[in-house]
Amino acid sequence: MDAIEQVKFGIIGCGNASSYHTLGIKKDPNPNIKFIAAYDINDRNLNRVSKRNKLTAFTDFDKFLQSDIDAVLLLVPHFLHAELTEKIAEAGKHVLCEKPMACTLEECDRMIEATKKAGVKFMIAENHRFLPAHQYIKQILDKGFIGDIFLARTYEGAYCDPQEFLDPEFWHFTFDKGGGGVVMDQGVHKVAMLNWFLGKVESAQCWCSKTLKSPPNKGEDTAIILLRYKSGAVVSISLSSTTVHPLNNSTELQGTKGTIYEDHSWENPLKIFSSHSEAEKKGEFYSPSIPIEHGAYPQYYTISARYEDRYFAECILKDREPEFTPEQAKEAVAVVLLSYLSAKNGKITTMDEFRNFAKQKGTDKILKDFLPVIQNNYKNLNW
């Protein structure tokens, strides 16, 4: 491929996620990136986002792909990620695709194969890998400030408009178009982060519930997952899309040499305790004095998406493979699907059992007849 000096992006999908990415942020423009084109099957969304961001609006998919774009930012429902990634790659364009990679492992494999075959750069837009607070945590973990992690707790709660659950036509949280409820939609972020910090998962146990009486095509809005990593670390992931507060994330890591508390609703998202000699304050809780770019939701999302877009553009310009590999993104989907399988089995399920299931039956079978697995908790709740 010819060397270029600036990556010209087109977007597919002009919905909610487009507002998080660089094109929705006027602050801090990056000379490496220019958004020039958009395609959506919904004319209203297409025209609104194109007009606001001065993009050429395409209603013809092939013409969009043939236009003067180098890369596509894919912002569409999950069941379309594989099919559209294949088409974008075949057209010779680089692909930055929103999380989760896809609804099944087989679809993930198709995406990896198509982008490798076409020789284009491919990254899943997992913004939790690009949050400055998470990158700081990763650095101090690598320096040994916390020692060996043996216990972790992580949470994502988001207030989603209840209509998103109650409307059967709205694709988010559906089994067929969303690949499941909150475990797929939000849990995949947490798993991608934990895998980065802790390595490979050995086994899982998950419980799913509905706190809203959503239609039968919708998955769980609330869940808890317990994971055991191969390192021996045990972890709980709490997830809900019906919390009354706006989107927030928090994580607690306990290690043999220290503790990290992270909460994105705090002004400084990190508190650290470490017995390591190089820690900023040894043996007492402190917040790092170096500035960590941060702001409560929606800022921490727009900050991370801006870094993610910039990083992917740099990979294209410098001809480097992204550090967050498609295989790692696939592994996050694998842990999500393992969690669903454990909920269905009603017992702890190992990654080996999951891989056997995947081989024999295919991962698209996991969410089949899943509805009875979800506890109907809404009967007990007074909203």
Ligand X SMILES: NC(=O)c1ccc[n+]([C@@H]2O[C@H](COP(=O)([O-])OP(=O)(O)OC[C@H]3O[C@@H](n4cnc5c(N)ncnc54)[C@H](O)[C@@H]3O)[C@@H](O)[C@H]2O)c1
Residues that bind ligand X (CB under 6 A): 12-17, 20, 39-42, 45, 75-78, 80, 98-99, 127, 185, 301
Q: Which residue is nearest to ligand X (CB)?
A: 15
In the complex, the smallest distance separating the C-beta of residue 307 from ligand X, rounded to whole angstroms, is 12
Evaluate the CA torsion angle 3, 121, 319, 34 in order and state its sign: positive
Strands (E), 141-247: 149-157, 201-210, 222-229, 234-240
Q: How far is CA 270 from the centre of its chain?
A: 21
The Cα 90–Cα 97 span in angstroms is 15
In the complex, the smallest distance separating the C-beta of residue 58 from ligand X, rounded to whole angstroms, is 10
Q: Which 3 state secondary structure label does DSSP give 227?
A: strand
Cβ nearer to ligand X, comparing 38 with 279: 38
Cβ nearer to ligand X, comparing 120 with 182: 182
In the complex, the smallest distance separating the C-beta of residue 332 from ligand X, rounded to whole angstroms, is 13
CA-based max dimension of the chain: 61
Cβ nearer to ligand X, comparing 60 with 352: 60
CA dihedral 342, 347, 348, 351 (to 10 degrees): -40
Element (H, E) at 273: strand 270-274
Q: Tell me, what amino acid is at 285?
A: F
The Cα 88–Cα 95 span in angstroms is 7
Cβ nearer to ligand X, comparing 85 with 254: 85
In the complex, the smallest distance separating the C-beta of residue 269 from ligand X, rounded to whole angstroms, is 16
Report helix, strand and coil shares of the chain as percent, to nearest 5.
40, 25, 35
In the complex, the smallest distance separating the C-beta of residue 309 from ligand X, rounded to whole angstroms, is 11
In the complex, the smallest distance separating the C-beta of residue 346 from ligand X, rounded to whole angstroms, is 28
In the complex, the smallest distance separating the C-beta of residue 147 from ligand X, rounded to whole angstroms, is 31
The Cα 11–Cα 71 span in angstroms is 9
Cβ nearer to ligand X, comparing 177 with 365: 177
Strands (E), 13-84: 33-39, 56-58, 71-74
Cβ nearer to ligand X, comparing 30 with 45: 45
Cβ nearer to ligand X, comparing 43 with 148: 43
Cβ nearer to ligand X, comparing 276 with 330: 330
The Cα 243–Cα 229 span in angstroms is 28
In the complex, the smallest distance separating the C-beta of residue 30 from ligand X, rounded to whole angstroms, is 18
The Cα 86–Cα 81 span in angstroms is 9
Cβ nearer to ligand X, comparing 76 with 120: 76
The Cα 98–Cα 128 span in angstroms is 12
In the complex, the smallest distance separating the C-beta of residue 17 from ligand X, rounded to whole angstroms, is 3
